[in-house]
Structure 1
Amino acid sequence: MNDIDAVIARNDARMDRMAHAEAMQLSRAKRRQRGVARTTARVGRAMMVGGGIVVALLLWGLLVSPIGVTVLVLAVLFGLFAMVGAASWEKPLPKPSAVADAPALLPAATDAWLDRQRRQMPLLAAPQVDAISAKLATLEQQLAQVPPADPIAQDLSRLLGRHLPELVESYTRVPAEQRKRTIDSDGRTLESTLVEGLKVVDAELDRASNQLAAADRDALLVQGKFLESRYGSDRAIEG
């Protein structure tokens, strides 16, 4: 019996490692996609600004008066600064609470917001952020198929729209040099408290995803039993 338990435990541990590795890969792929999209947008904004300045100079020279060397140099300098500014600017992302009333939009908004907060969180939190990101991708598909008033969708709206942002922002508001201090008699620090909170969020997302999938699993089981009873090998197929 002990041998069987040990085998089961090893299999469970292996499955957990595989799930973690898959979550890491998915999270990295999504971060790369966001990085490419941000870079493309920055280059596009810079090119638009630069192109606009060139067109303005050409029109001025053709329609108003020739452009002198001094004006040209100033225009080039201004254009460079404007292009750098346009490339550096990023559109502020809405907080998850802004779309809390639309559960189907909440996973994507939360994932993008959480990715922006990643740089302010400790390295210890990275695996949990990756795991949450992977589950949000699954929940995005699931929540698109349920009404906003669904109890599970409402629970997720509160978790992602309020509780998770409050957890992360409570940590990031603390000055960086104070985040490693012990805050409890059991030796916990702010970093470990954040990580434990993210683990709770991850577990709750997993539970919600399983609940949302339960109806489909039950329907598949019922349909499978029906097909087996109607068209099983021990029954003749009715015309």
Structure 2
Amino acid sequence: MPTDVDRELARAEALLDRTRDRHVSQRSRRTKEVEFAKRVGRIAAADALILVGAIVLGFILPNGIGLFGALGVALLLILTTIFFAVFPLNVPPTAEALAQVPLKALPATTERWLETQRPALPAPVRTLVDSIGVKLETLTPQLATLDEGTPAAAEVRKLIGEQLPELVKGYARVPEPLRKVERNGLSPDQQLAQGLQLIDDEIAEMTTQIAQGDLDALATRGRYLQIRYRDEDAPA
């Protein structure tokens, strides 16, 4: 029989879930709006450049650009618009490249990389991916004043630039038919969920410690993520 405390905890958890989902939805909408604005801006700039070039040629050439020239300009405008409408704005980062990213840009770059991995991850852990993305977004401005050479910075880089990508890459190396098969009491799906939850909690702890200025605690915490999913542990 659920107690009043249990019901209050359930309501609090449901509220947190709704708040997180709303934040994720708003973040996704903002990202799409920014991407749309960038695409429109690039299309406008490219089309304007083509039109200016056509006008200049019209003044330079004795007979102007003529009918075929006008058709060529129209075709070029159409092709340019299509190109910038469908071509990716940014090349997705690779996991290997994260090690070279400056600390200040690491959370945003890791978030972009993690988003590219999202479709290949099991549905139950995608809420964790969203939660990590929100926390990485919160962490970004905090790292603006954190010295790259400090032990605290090294802990941040290790967690989100090394351990998080390694966890996801380790899972991706497992053949799909084996991902739900238990090994040593846990399936790869369960190991992934536990690892992502632990990373989510760790990022939250790091964010709190940086906000409090407790960098010594962050640097000397010495926690080791119990992520055992490596090549040597992967099912054959």
TM-score, normalised via structure 1 length: 0.70
Aligned to 1:15: 12
In the alignment, the residues of structure 2 paired with residue 23 and residue 10 of structure 1 have an alpha-carbon distance, to the nearest angstrom, of 20
Matches within 5 A, 1:31-180: 31-64=28-61, 65-89=63-87, 90-95=89-94, 97-98=97-98, 102-171=102-171, 179=176
Shifted more, 125-134 versus 33-42: the winner is 125-134
Deviations 1:88-110 (A, max 9, x none): 22122445754767434322332
**How far does residue 165 in structure 1 lie from its aligned partner after superposition?**
2.1
Tell me the percent identity: 27
Contact 2:182–2:188 (CA under 8 A) maintained in structure 1: no
Q: CA deviation at 1:24?
A: 1.8
TM-score w.r.t. the length of structure 2 is 0.71
Secondary structure of the residue aligned to 1:195 is: helix
**1:215 CA drift (Å):** 5.5
**Shift in CA distance, 91/139, structure 1 to aligned 2, threshold 3 Å:** closer
- 1:95–1:113 Cα contact (<8 Å) kept: yes
Other structure's SS at 1:207 match = helix
Distance 1:61 1:173 in 2: 58
- For 1:200, the equivalent position in structure 2 comes to 198
Q: Is residue 25 of structure 2 the alignment partner of residue 28 of structure 1?
A: yes
Q: Deviations over 1:26-81 (max 9, x none)?
A: 22211111111111111111122222222222221221132232332233223211
**1:182–1:188 Cα contact (<8 Å) kept:** no
Larger Rg: 1
**Aligned pair in 2 of structure 1 residues 42, 172: CA closer, same or farther (>3 Å)?**
farther
3-state DSSP of counterpart to 2:103: coil
CA contact (8 A) 1:103 1:153 kept: yes
Aligned residue-pair number: 210
What's the CA shift for 1:202?
0.9
Distance in 1 (CA, whole Å) between partners of 2:71 and 2:35 is 30
Q: Alpha-carbon deviations, 1:168-194, whole Å to 9, x = none?
A: 3445577xxx53544633596655543
Q: Distance in 1 between matches of 2:42 and 2:172?
A: 30
What amino acid does structure 1 have at the position aligned with 2:117?
Q
Q: For structure 1, which runs of at least 5 residues remain unmatched after alignment?
A: 217-239
Task: Give yes or no for contact 1:46–1:83 (8 Å, CA) kept in 2.
Answer: yes
Structure 2: runs of 5+ lacking an equivalent: 215-236
